Chains A and B, each alone.
Chain A
Amino acid sequence: MILELDHISVSLKGRRILNDISMSAREGEFIGLIGPNGAGKSTLLRTAAGLLPVEAGTRRLAGAAMETLSPRERARALSYLPQTRPLYWAMPVRSLVALGRFAWGNPLTEDARDAEAVDCALAACGAGHLADRPASELSGGELSRVHLARALAGETPLLLADEPAAALDPAHQLSVMQLLRAKAEEGKAVIAALHDLTLAARYCTRIVMVHEGGVAADGAPKDVLTDDQLQQVFRIRARFDAEGGLAIHALEN
């Protein structure tokens, strides 16, 4: 078990955002985190990444209590792709992706191992041809793939990605989902906040449905994406068709 969250509660600015959440991730899993806007998906990912303090509950990362890990140890176990991805100084794409190697070796220099991981990650995200472009001059979708490459360059056993497929065209959405699935099959654990239920149903090995700061359902896509759950949580109607695809309709009031 690479990540264990046990009865976690988190408050931000005095308001309870996550309430008594328990979930875990093991190697080989691609977990889709779904839920309406404001449900708490991003907060859950930031908590899992060790970036927020918990009010109650315990977090274990690769067997160790999260609080006992140094920032560097934590960064070698997990990489995190935030939902908003600021870039404060202009730098070439390759340097941005190389930041994913920060926790390995000297952060200020790139050794052969770093270079290989950076090239691999760029290629995997279909961004190899962007390597020498200034990151500030990319389109939103291109930049999004570059940031994903940055997260992959860390080659960590756990990948937490907040809406990695947002802002991507349909072909790139598919290829990102394929990539995350492939990473899971290689033995990583992947947890990604997703909005496209159809893609989630098709590629994720497991779905965790977040609703009002709690886990509403957790299990195989077919068991979580049921008519009842989707009506209650998303106010939509959906059904799996014969090929395992998901057809979605808005609920009429």
Chain B
Amino acid sequence: MMRALSLNAILAGASVLLVLLSLFIGPAAIAPGDALAALFTDQGAVSAIIREIRLPRALAAFLAGACLGAAGAGLQGLLRNPLADPGVLGVSAAAALGAVIAIYFNLAALAFWAAPMMAILFALGATAALYALGAGRVTTARLILIGVGLSSFCGALISLAMNLSPNPFALSDLINWLFGTVANRSFHDLALAAPFALLGFIMIVASAPGLLALTLGEETADSLGADLKRTRALVIIGAAFLVGASVATAGAIGFVGIVAPHLVRAFAGQNPARLLLPSALMGGVMLAGADIVIRLLPFDQELKLGVAAALIGAPGFVWVAATTKRIAS
């Protein structure tokens, strides 16, 4: 309990620090002191850079990571599998497909919110389909298998869209959505995603008692008095909102949903009900930190945030997979 509280405090502190640190980095040379002054008082052009460009970018990275961390922790609790993740269930792929369709059919050119909105709608559609296909008493193994199929199918449709893409600009947009980036994010983008992120987080947190009971398996959880239908609905719909919000903000970024809860378990134990908040903070810290690192790397073209996440996260995923004794029943 004390450990969980202090872990949350440390992670929250790290989040604030990283967001502030992120304000000091960018092509325009602005001294840290000037950057802070420009954040809190009006300094004209410098304030515009700090408030309109660097701050939304830092917050977008944090928000995307926090959404993925919370969604991963919730799905892992529901499926009792440390490898479960929005990617495993096909929700991320569906959200990315939504964004890609918006771009391919030029919806994105009609309204700036079309791509993010489609990402959220497709994440919801994917989870609703998951739920409907396994209607009633769906087993964990079946949920994961359906997710694998859904994921492959959405991946294939994304490739199809890229093949058929009529212009190279669409292609570069597609790459941004698929690899994930928070460059050039504005408060418009954040305002669009934040309500869904908040709603999703509240739903995931409301599922905490059910997740705790599921530690003893579905049958015992049921006998303990956990409402499993409600728990499933809260986690699945909550994760859809979170993933939709994350993909809308930063595109498809993998592995945060697996690695963040796994790191938290090392410090706070495995109780799935107590992992939700610290996993969200850890996910936010991871992406906020990664977004600082990619801007400090001496490359001509900035590394995509999702590529950096995969460079660290994919080996982490293999590590978790190789050291996990039990894969969902």
Interface residues, chain A, with chain B CB atoms under 8 Å away: 46, 49-51, 70-76, 78-80, 82, 85-91, 95-96, 99-100, 102-103, 107-108, 150, 154
Question: How many angstroms between the C-alpha atoms of A107 and B207 in the bound complex?
Answer: 11
Q: Are A89 and B225 in contact (CB under 8 A)?
A: no
CB distance from B8 to the nearest CB of A (A): 15
Question: How many angstroms between the C-alpha atoms of A240 and B271 in the bound complex?
Answer: 50
Interface residues, chain B, with chain A CB atoms under 8 Å away: 80, 208-209, 212-217, 219-220, 222-228, 269-273, 326, 329
Question: How many angstroms between the C-alpha atoms of A72 and B271 in the bound complex?
Answer: 21
Q: Are A89 and B272 in contact (CB under 8 A)?
A: yes
Closest residue to B273 on the A side, CB-wise? Answer: A108
Q: Are A102 and B225 in contact (CB under 8 A)?
A: yes
Work out how many contacts link A and B, with CB atoms closer than 8 A.
82
Q: Which residues of A contact B326 (CB under 8 A)?
A: 88
Q: Are B270 and A85 in contact (CB under 8 A)?
A: no
Q: Which residues of B contact A49 (CB under 8 A)?
A: 223
Q: Which residues of B contact A70 (CB under 8 A)?
A: 227
Question: How many angstroms between the C-alpha atoms of A107 and B326 in the bound complex?
Answer: 26
Question: How many angstroms between the C-alpha atoms of A78 and B269 in the bound complex?
Answer: 30
Closest residue to B208 on the A side, CB-wise? Answer: A108
Q: Are A75 and B223 in contact (CB under 8 A)?
A: yes
Question: Quick one: given A91-B215, A107-B212, are A99 and B224 in contact (CB under 8 Å)?
Answer: yes
Q: Are B80 and A88 in contact (CB under 8 A)?
A: yes
Q: Are B271 and A102 in contact (CB under 8 A)?
A: no
A-B contact pairs, 14 of them (CB 8 A): A49-B223, A51-B222, A71-B225, A71-B228, A75-B223, A75-B225, A85-B216, A86-B217, A88-B80, A88-B214, A89-B272, A102-B213, A102-B226, A103-B224
Q: Which among B217, B219, B220, B226 is the interface contact of A71 at CB below 8 angstroms?
A: B226
CB distance from A110 to the nearest CB of B (A): 10
Q: Are B214 and A108 in contact (CB under 8 A)?
A: no
Q: Are A82 and B225 in contact (CB under 8 A)?
A: no
Known: A49-B223, A82-B217. 8 other contacts (CB 8 A): A74-B225, A75-B223, A87-B216, A88-B215, A89-B215, A102-B226, A103-B224, A107-B226
Question: How many angstroms between the C-alpha atoms of A85 and B224 in the bound complex?
Answer: 13
Q: Which residues of B contact A72 (CB under 8 A)?
A: 225, 227
Question: How many angstroms between the C-alpha atoms of A99 and B273 in the bound complex?
Answer: 12
